[in-house]
Structure formats: C-alpha cells, structure tokens
C-alpha cells in the first residue's frame, strides 16, 4: 500500500511538471509521431542558448577562417529551408569548431556544431550536408527534449520506489524483494533509455536524408559519412544494445535501404549533387592552410550533458 501511494506521488509530481511546462504528449511536426516532452519550443531555445554559451571554447573555439565557417553556415541554412512547416522559427546557428575531435552535435533550439576533425575526413559538400542534416533532424524531432523528459520521468518513478522500499519494515516483503528489484529496475530502465537514444540516431539519419533531398543534395552523402564513422570506430567496443548509438554498419544498412527504395530516383541523377570540387576549394584547402589545432582532451564534462546528443557517443565520435 505504501509503495502504491509513493508511486502515485512520483507520478503526480511528474504531471505537475507537465502542467507547468504546458506540454506533455504532443505530435511532432517532423516525424508525425506523438512524443513525451516536458518543455516547450521556447524553453528549448533558452536551454540551447544557455548551453551554447562557452561551449565552442570547450572544443577549441570556432575555426578562425571566414571561408570554411561561412560555408558551414550556408549549407546549414540551405537545409533548414526544407524543414517541416510545423516547426517554429528557431535560433539556427552552425559553428565549425577548431578541434581534431571527430564529432558533430546539436542543442535544442537550433545550435549545431561541426568539428574540423570530422570536416577533414569528408570529401564532398553532400557529406557535410549529411552531417548537418542529421543534427538538424535531432532538433526538429526534439530528441533532446524527449530524452531529458524521459530521464526526469524515470528518475521520479525510481525515487518513489526507492523511498517506499527504504520506509518499509525491515522484515517485510517490500523490503525483502525491493532490495533486489530496485537495482534491477534501475538497470533495466536505463537500458530502455539507451534504446531510445539508438532510435533517435536512426530517426535523425532518416530526417537528414529528407532535408538533403529537399536541398538538392545526393542522399548518398549520408552513406559516406557512416563509412567514415565505421572506419574510425574499429577496435574493441561495447555491445550495440548498451550503446547510445547503433553501430555504423547498422546505420549503413538502413541508409542503403533508403537509397535503394525511397531515394532511388536521386541516384545517377544530376539534379542531386555531391559538390566535391566546391568542398575541396571552400573547406579542405583553407583548412590545410591553417595551423593544426592544439591537441585537446575530450571535454568529458560537456559530453555528459544530456542535451549533447551526438556528443555522448565516444566510441563513434572520438579518435
């Protein structure tokens, strides 16, 4: 009985957060699916702006060269022009970071970061569009909001259960079985949350290809990005079901399926470009003429922030 009461308290507290935020289960304009979100679009913009302040410095600062930095912004805004009409105006910013770390990530509200280390591994504008489109997909699908909301909900329920077990009589069945059940529930719940993360990555791949096609890029650029990440992730790694991201080969298989079916008409079609020459001139050549960035350590504190979705997967993102 005590367990049920405290669980109800946890659920009521969660409902209170939903009322204060004015949100809950909403239909996402990008995915067309219902999702659980505790924060409004305006709150997401504020969270993103707050987290972005000083973030660039954690990754070596913005690349000090106008041509490649402007190039990233141009391609990013070209992709943004194709997002769904139901997504409100966001504070879109695209920043090229001066770090050898191979990564890209986005914050709620439209702050997108793309590292020099990853840029130098690519060889076409379409590939860069694949990276940026994927990150835009995280923003439009509201993955950061969903993951934070799910974590808050899970934590509230776990707190209620743990308090109930701790408050029970030492010789009661609640205490006896709860001491085993609570850790098991915590482990199981967190594995489920990891699955949400893997689903988010696959969904962002799909949305990224959608935005690429709308902007006139060959969606095959997304496949090349995954091949780069696959090459960088060689070596020992944890099981896929314990990772926040699918293995690159899993994503490659899904992307090939999209290319063979949904986007078959874009292949060998001159209307959908790769733009290798432009990328060489506007990105790779200027970066080669810049001093190498100071070799930095992985900024663990930032990567542990839940809003840095792609930044959480060290196995794929960090050399």
Between 304 and 101, the more confident residue is: 101
CA gyration radius, the chain: 21
- For residue 32, name the pLDDT band (cuts at 50, 70, 90): confident
Distance CA 103, CA 319 (A): 10
CA distance 106 to 44: 12
Q: What is the mean pLDDT of the chain?
A: 75
Cα distance between residue 197 and residue 261, in whole Å: 25
Confidence of residue 11 (pLDDT cuts 50, 70, 90): very low
Question: Using 50, 70 and 90 to split pLDDT, how confident is the model at 198?
Answer: low
- Separation CA 283–CA 123 (nearest Å): 9
pLDDT of residue 190: 42
More confident site: 176 or 224: 224
> Which parts of 22-54 fold into alpha helices (H)?
41-52
C-alpha distances (whole Å) from 250 to each of 31, 123, 169, 199 are: 21, 22, 49, 12
What was the pLDDT predicted at 317? Answer: 35
In this prediction, residues 249-267 reach a mean pLDDT of 94
pLDDT bucket at 171, cuts 50 / 70 / 90? low
CA distances from 232 to 76, 117, 245, 248, 314 (A): 24, 11, 14, 10, 11
Confidence at residue 297, expressed as pLDDT on a 0 to 100 scale: 52
């Amino acid at each position: 009985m005590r367990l049920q009461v405290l669980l109800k308290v946890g659920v009521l507290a969660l409902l209170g957060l939903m009322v204060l935020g004015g949100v809950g289960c909403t239909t996402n304009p990008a995915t067309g699916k219902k999702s659980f979100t505790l924060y409004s679009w305006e709150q997401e913009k504020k969270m993103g702006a707050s987290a972005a302040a000083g973030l660039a410095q954690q990754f070596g600062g913005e690349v000090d060269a106008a041509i490649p930095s402007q190039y990233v912004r141009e391609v990013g805004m070209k992709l943004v022009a194709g997002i769904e009409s139901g997504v409100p105006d966001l504070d879109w910013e695209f920043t090229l970071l001066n770090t050898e770390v191979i990564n890209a990530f986005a914050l709620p509200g439209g702050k997108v970061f793309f590292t020099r280390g990853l840029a130098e591994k690519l060889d076409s504008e379409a590939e860069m569009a694949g990276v940026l489109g994927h990150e835009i997909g995280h923003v439009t699908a509201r993955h950061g909001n969903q993951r934070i909301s799910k974590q808050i909900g899970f934590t509230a329920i776990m707190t209620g259960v743990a308090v109930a077990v701790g408050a029970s009589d030492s010789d009661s069945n609640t205490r006896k079985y709860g001491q085993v059940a609570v850790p098991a529930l915590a482990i199981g719940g967190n594995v489920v949350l990891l699955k949400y993360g893997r689903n988010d990555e696959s969904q962002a791949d799909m949305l990224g290809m959608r935005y690429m096609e709308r902007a006139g890029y060959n969606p095959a650029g997304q496949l090349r990005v995954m091949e780069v990440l696959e090459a960088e992730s060689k070596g020992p790694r944890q099981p896929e079901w314990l990772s926040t991201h699918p293995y690159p080969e899993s994503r490659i298989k899904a992307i090939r399926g999209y290319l063979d079916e949904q986007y078959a008409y874009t292949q060998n079609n001159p209307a959908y470009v790769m733009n290798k020459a432009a990328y060489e001139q506007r990105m790779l050549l200027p970066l080669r003429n810049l001093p190498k960035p100071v070799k930095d350590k992985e900024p663990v504190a930032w990567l542990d922030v839940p809003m840095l979705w792609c930044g959480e997967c060290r196995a794929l993102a960090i050399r």
